[in-house]
Amino acid sequence: MFTLRTPRLLLALALTSFFAAPAALAETQPAKTAASAGQLPLQELRNFTEIFERIRSSYVEEVDDKTLLEYAINGMLTSLDPHSAYLQPDAFSDLQENTSGKFGGLGIEVGQQDGLILVVTPIDDTPAQKAGIQAGDLIVSLDGEAVMGMSLNDAVEKMRGAPGSDITLEIRRKNEKELLTYTLTRAEIKVASVRTEKLSGDIGYVRITQFQENTGGELAAAIDNWRHDGQLNGIILDLRNNPGGVLDAAVEVVDSFISQGLIVYTKGRAASSELSYSATQHTPAGTIPTVVLINGGSASASEIVAGALQDHQRAVIVGTQSFGKGSVQSVLPITEDSAIKLTTARYFTPNGRSIQAQGIKPDIWVEQAEVTTAEQRYYKESDLPGHLSNPTDKAKDAKAEAAGGEETDLTSDILKRDFQLYEAHTLLRGVAILSPRPES
């Protein structure tokens, strides 16, 4: 970054030279020719330098040239789309921490909408998630300061802070008439990428909170362990409220379920942005029936996984429509400690569907709800006086009854709290029951 201490004419020439658009050449050629040659328009550069000079001389407070140019760069990038940004040292460091799975703050993946801060998803086991922050919430103020007009980077910086310190958020939530107020205590956020649990009926449950460098390996190891320990009748892959992460990790996750074919491809203007990823023969999940859970907080890499498995008809997608972030951001270093995050391509599923602003529609639409049991009393044959006894061996009856009771205990807690998971589990249990069994 250079510092400008020149008159407006020299500033114009410096900027023109900086952007590889010589003034003399631009003036001697027609506008159409200049545009086709990729040169910058001279009049717009003159406008820029005029505005720059007026800010320097007339703004109510003095602002140094370096800061003004940083503002200009930041504004240029943030005006392109919600995901392009200028990453100065702190933001660049934060991005590197996020992909490693450890960072400080509240545990909220955010974007920008209508000038407010949009909660894309709260991350599991973080202050935001524990306090009840929900995907789709709009943050109106931070510690009493309105976010309207605040850049996304500035808002994120304000939400970060020393572990143990508090911050108050005012939130606008759909279907709530009044603003909601939350006071959160910042913490060191350590995101465990993969969490697993074995549910009743030999159903494996995998929760991926964020796609990190080791996600694919952790998932493959979990599936291998389940298959080694005994029968595995199905897998539930939970990608709800997963904001995305590392593309390679998403590809590895899909590769655990399919053994051939395209996983995802990207299209952009630059040749380097045209990429495609295909499956390998190493498929830990084999042909085990699979359900993928998604919702409005499932974005980016999560949508790549869901879209690929849906296109390959390898999994049933259950839940609600995903977020719809189908763009690729490349981090391009500018100096040793700063970079730009620039949208360079779009993602496409194997069948050529663009995820951007569309998302993934589930095969079975299931809204989240609370699972409750209605108590009903029916009289049975066994309640009638003098009923005939069942000739089945009583010991076998007792053993089967005990096994059924144990299965209910294993399933009850996690499934009663989560209706979407309950439905996914029920679906896989049905598939397992109907699947052919080897003759004994």
Report whether 357 contacts 324 (CB < 8 A): yes
Q: What is the pLDDT of residues 357-409, one digit of tens each?
A: 999 999 999 998 866 777 777 778 888 888 888 877 555 555 555 544 444 44
> At 17, which helix (H) or strand (E)?
helix 8-18
Report whether 327 contacts 83 (CB < 8 A): yes
Q: What is the pLDDT of residue 123?
A: 81
Helices 301-311, 247-255: axis angle to 10 degrees equals 30
Q: Could you give the CA distance from residue 25 to residue 3 in angstroms, rounded to a whole number?
A: 25
- Higher-confidence residue of 213 and 97: namely 213
Report whether 340 contacts 334 (CB < 8 A): yes
Among candidates 286, 315, 124, 313, which has minimal Cα distance to 207? Answer: 124
C-beta atoms surrounding 105 within 10 Å: 24
Mean pLDDT, rounded, for 412-427: 85
Q: What is the pLDDT of residues 323-352, one digit of tens each?
A: 999 999 888 999 888 899 999 999 999 999
Q: Running DSSP on this structure, what letter comes out for residue 131? A: H
Q: Could you give the CA distance from residue 109 to residue 404 in angstroms, rounded to a whole number?
A: 41
Q: For the chain, how far is it from start to end, CA to CA, in angstroms?
A: 76
- Higher-confidence residue of 34 and 194: namely 194
Q: Where are the domains of the chain?
A: 8-63, 102-190, 194-365
Report whether 46 contacts 16 (CB < 8 A): no
C-beta atoms surrounding 94 within 10 Å: 17
- Higher-confidence residue of 179 and 409: namely 179
Q: What is the pLDDT of residue 31?
A: 43
Q: Is the dihedral of CA 411, 414, 416, 418 positive or negative?
A: negative
User: How many separate helices (H) and strands (E) can be counted in the chain?
Assistant: 13, 19
Which residues have a Cβ under 8 Å from the Cβ of 439 and sit 6 or more positions away?
A: none
What's the pTM?
0.73
Q: What is the third-level CATH fold of 102-190?
A: Pdz3 Domain (2.30.42)
Name the percent of the chain lying above pLDDT 70. 81
Q: What is the pLDDT of residue 154?
A: 84
Which residues have a Cβ under 8 Å from the Cβ of 191 and sit 6 or more positions away?
A: 101, 102, 107, 123, 124, 126, 209, 210, 212
Q: What is the pLDDT of residues 40-53, one digit of tens each?
A: 899 999 999 999 99
Residues known to be catalytic:
300, 311, 325
- Sequence length of the chain is 440
Top CATH class of 194-365 equals: alpha beta
Bridge partners, residue 236, by sequence: 205, 291
Q: Is the pLDDT of residue 122 over 80?
A: yes
